[in-house]
Amino acid sequence: MKIRIAGEFCLLVMFGLVTSCASSYKSIHPQIVNYSNETVTDSIKFSYKYDVLWESRNKKYAKKERKNSSKILAIKVLNNSRDTIDFNDVKLFSADKLIVPIPNEDLYDQFKQSTPSYILYLLFTPVHKFSVNLNGPSNIFPFGLILGPVLAGWNMMVAAGANSDFEYELEKYNIRDQKIPPGDTMYGLIGIEVDDYIPLTLRLMRK
């Protein structure tokens, strides 16, 4: 009895094990985040949380956050004043430095999974050698012809769905043009260009 697995098939298996596949997106839900930072200025109680992508198990997106000079934060804003606060009148600062949030469109482009990259799985389509010799003629099975398109299609579908869910949550918790009535709390997601976990404050700029 003789069983021989060709080198090409072994390479396919190894590649499948070490390659990073697409992953789904898990909602952050800013309302249930355990906020670790809090400041109070101008009758605004401001809470924020770094590393929400990692803590919500969005490792694919969190890895991009660690590679880039951008971070996504969950925020909680309580209006303790007697007036409605227009978020366009609120500015984000670190000490005396103005921090301008990244527009959602740009934030999405920075963090989304690259769907076309998974087409590379089709490179395994020509891999077809799986020879089995049981005291008879060897048989060749086209593993690559099946596995290549399946892996490519599945990963592209998962990545596209994850990106859609990510974009939806960014828009759902978009703070732009929001108004906060007296005593109300607003939750949001923002992206800022920083290299470190800098302290943040909100200031009401209207006169």
What is the per-residue pLDDT across 138-158, written as a single tens digit (0 to 9) for each? Answer: 556 565 566 666 677 777 888
Whether 74 and 49 have beta carbons less than 8 Å apart is answered as yes
Cα–Cα distance, 191 to 188 (Å, whole number): 10
Torsion 163-166-171-176 (CA) sign: negative
Within 10 angstroms of residue 77's Cβ, the number of other Cβ atoms is 21
Q: How far apart are CA 65 and CA 195, in angstroms?
A: 10
Mean pLDDT of 121-129: 57
Q: What strands, in cross-sheet order, belong to the sheet with 97-99?
A: 97-99, 90-94, 201-204
Name the pLDDT band for 189 (thresholds 50, 70, 90).
very high
Helix pair 104-111, 59-67: axis angle to 10 deg: 100
For residues 166 and 61, the answer to whether their CB atoms sit within 8 Å is: yes
Question: Which pLDDT belongs to residue 154?
Answer: 73
The better pLDDT of the pair 27, 156 is held by 27
Query: Which runs of consecutive H residues, i.e. helices, occur in 51-95?
Result: 52-55, 59-67
Q: What is the pLDDT of residues 36-55, one digit of tens each?
A: 899 998 889 999 999 999 99
Residue 125 has pLDDT above 70, yes or no: no
User: What's the count of helices (H) and strands (E) in the chain, helices before strands?
Assistant: 5, 11
- Give me the percent of the chain exceeding a pLDDT of 70: 72
Q: Can you tell me whether residue 177 is helix, strand or coil?
A: coil
C-alpha 191: how far from its chain's center?
12
Domain range annotation of the chain: 2-204
Rounded Cα distance, 167 and 180, in Å: 23
Q: Which of 106, 100, 90, 103 is nearest to 178 (CA)?
A: 90
The confidence score (pLDDT) of residue 54 equals 95
pLDDT digits (tens, 9 = 90+) for 46-94: 999 999 999 999 998 999 888 888 999 999 999 999 999 998 899 999 9
Strands 90-94 and 97-99: what pairing?
A: antiparallel
Rounded CA gap, 117 and 122, in Å? 10
What pTM value is reported for the model? 0.78
